Amino acid sequence: MLTPEQIERKLDRILLKVQKPGRYVGGELNSIQKDWDSVQTRVALVFPDIYDIGVSNVGLKILYDQINQREDALAERAYAPWLDMEALMREHRIPLYALESKRPLACFDLIGFTLPYETLYTNTLNILDLAGIPVRSAERDESHPIIIAGGHSCMNPEPMHAFIDAFVIGEGEEVIHEIIDVVKKWKVESNNPLSTCHREDVLRELAKIQGVYVPRFYETTYLDDGTVARIEPIAADVPKVITKRIVAKLPPPPTKFIVPNVDIVHNRVSVEIMRGCTRGCRFCHAGMITRPVRERSVDEVLQAAEEALKNTGFEELALLSLSSSDYTHVLELVTKVGEKFGGTHLKVSLPSLRIESVSIDLMERLKDRRSGGFTLAPEAATERMRRIINKFIPDEDIINTTREIYRRGWTTIKLYFMIGHPSETLEDVQAIADLCKRVIAEGRKVIGWKAKLHAGVSTFVPKSQTPFQWVSCDTPEQIRAKQELLKRELYRDKNIKLSLTDAEDSFLEAWLSRGDRRMAEVIYSAWKKGSKFDAWQEGKKYDAWMEAFAEHGLDPLFYTHRQRRTDEVFPWEHITAAVRKNFLFQDFRMSLEGEIRVDCRLNCYACGILPTFAGLRRENPGEGWKCPDVKSPVNNKQSAVTSLPLVGD
């Protein structure tokens, strides 16, 4: 295995031959390099995409901070090298290394992958291969690191079950320490020549930690029609259902962000102001799996922002959450940010603002510190579709809100929409174009031809752990017809920018997010055929995926274009976000009738979070709202689902 010095000498010979050598050298401000020999457990945190994207990932920042606070452990980072760098690394036999110490990843005790989205799967295999680590979990022995993965896509871990030793289901701030403690104990015991502790024993200990899923201890059987019959443990002392891990109270946010040496996607300080969402949008994976809502106090957010800006020199502050304008004290927070950083030219962004909760007061407070355009997400443009997806916003509210945004000095508004729900018609898609035209027409009344509109239109993917997990994807022909309609209607106006998701990208996401264990072999074959960087134009190899499906006798349409039975066992049946399957099914039935649920701040629908995490309570008013300690009766469709098996009840 190469030493850090040998790797650095090899890098000196190749770095001037690649784009952005600064991606591969480390040494950034606020990066942490501990003495390798002074700690007992060494962790490599890997974001399996390029440095420009991965370095600003919030989850990786949190874990980097948490681990490096320990005296007995260190955390270093690695990212996927771009195509030019990978070719040179393979040519010169340079293993993938951590930026801080330049040590090969294979030297670490624990490697943690962050997997927020499914199109990172082939990159994950490629990184293991570049690191000289067996891609398949079953082929690793005591000399190899333990490979773990976490992130939103791991709410259905089965497509990656063959490659990851253990998955973290849910939030990682606390569970990462328990995992490190197990690995540390294993290392101590393995140094004893009389020890009989093996890698399998370590994995058994990890499987006992709440929220940790070790796939080798479970078995899936199938029915004749290809659907799942059952998923059962095949080892003693492992849970039948793995319930997500959650932190009751958000720990202090990291404030020593790494300042990159090159331009990246988000050069800014980001502070998470709240986690979770109460709106109940039926398509929203993040909204369902991050319940309940937990908020940081205004003082804590301000203190973290001030420290982070001093530590980094960034000139933009992002106040992050799934629904920033639903933060209880958002007006107070924006006002105090303006007061504290007056005269500093600080830009402030509030991602994920909701149309119905964007008040005039909030816009007034933001207008002097705005950053870029103003983003809103109507998602649909007809009352019928808004009722189906449980995001009901009258057109007039959208028009009035966007008019006020233009009036207060913003020249660009970005509207997010979604097409592809199987109940959607071409008339529903035409309404998206019509609404965009109305919005920019209102803008022109206010600020003239300076008014611009960016319409981002993604394609619906029915995700696991959501009410829409029972529905199918729209057909490729219908998706393309809907996209052509939008192009015809909106490309005529030069001040309207239309962004569309490639239909093939959406189907790849759907296979990977809805797949069962058989998808692991498809992923492996697609990677062997050269598929990687699947989210990038340069990396797309759709034919490789089609060949991989054919090679293993699987039909991709099985995962995307069929209606699920109401009693179907899902591939992720043994994984739960602590939201009852009965609740999700009831919500699905309500979507068929066009019935909506109001914000669950106003009415608790007994989704399952409260009994699962009975200890979560609002300790004081400064922490903001949490789920009420009640279980109000559900007022409709309850009888329709009483025969469904409960998961995580």
The hierarchical CATH code for the domain 372-518+554-564 is: 3.30.750.200
Could you give the count of Cα atoms lying within 13 Å of 391 in the half-sphere of its Cβ? 21
pLDDT score recorded for residue 251: 94
Helix segments in 158-262, DSSP class H:
175-190, 199-207
The H or E element that residue 43 is part of is strand 41-47
Q: b/e for 563-587, b at 16 or more Cβ within 10 A? A: ebeeeebbbbbbbbbbbbbbbbbbb
CB < 8 Å & 24+ apart, contacts of 297-300: 297/329, 297/622, 297/623, 297/624, 298/329, 298/332, 298/333, 298/336, 298/622, 299/622, 300/252, 300/253
C-alpha to C-alpha distance for 530 and 129, rounded to whole angstroms: 13
pLDDT score recorded for residue 546: 97
- As given in the structure block, the two tokens for residue 181 are 């403690």
DSSP annotation of 97 = B
Q: What's the one-letter identity of residue 581? A: K
C-alpha to C-alpha distance for 512 and 156, rounded to whole angstroms: 9
Q: What is the pTM of this model?
A: 0.92
Helix segments in 145-289, DSSP class H:
175-190, 199-207, 285-289
Averages of pLDDT over runs of 10 residues in the chain (649 residues) are: 96 96 97 96 98 95 97 98 98 98 98 97 98 98 96 98 98 97 89 74 96 98 97 95 94 95 90 94 96 95 97 93 91 92 86 78 75 84 96 92 92 95 96 98 96 97 96 92 97 96 92 97 98 91 96 96 91 96 96 93 85 49 42 34 30
pLDDT score recorded for residue 642: 29
C-alpha to C-alpha distance for 376 and 313, rounded to whole angstroms: 29
pLDDT averaged over every residue in the chain: 91
DSSP annotation of 35 = -
pLDDT score recorded for residue 646: 30
Q: How far is CA 19 from CA 53, 83, 86, 88, 254, in A?
A: 15, 10, 12, 12, 30
Contact by Cβ (8 Å): 43, 76 = yes
pLDDT digits (tens, 9 = 90+) for 184-194: 998 888 776 65
Domain ranges of the chain: 4-243, 268-370+578-649, 372-518+554-564
* All residues at 6 or more sequence positions from 443 whose CB lies less than 8 Å from its CB, including other chains: 402, 403, 406, 413, 451, 452, 453
C-alpha to C-alpha distance for 163 and 150, rounded to whole angstroms: 13
Q: What's the one-letter identity of residue 252? A: P
In whole angstroms, how large is the CA radius of gyration of the chain? Answer: 25
Q: Domain 268-370+578-649 has what CATH class? A: alpha beta
Our CA angle for 633, 639, 641, nearest 5°, is 105
Domains 268-370+578-649 and 372-518+554-564 fall in the same CATH topology: yes
- As given in the structure block, the two tokens for residue 223 are 């029915």
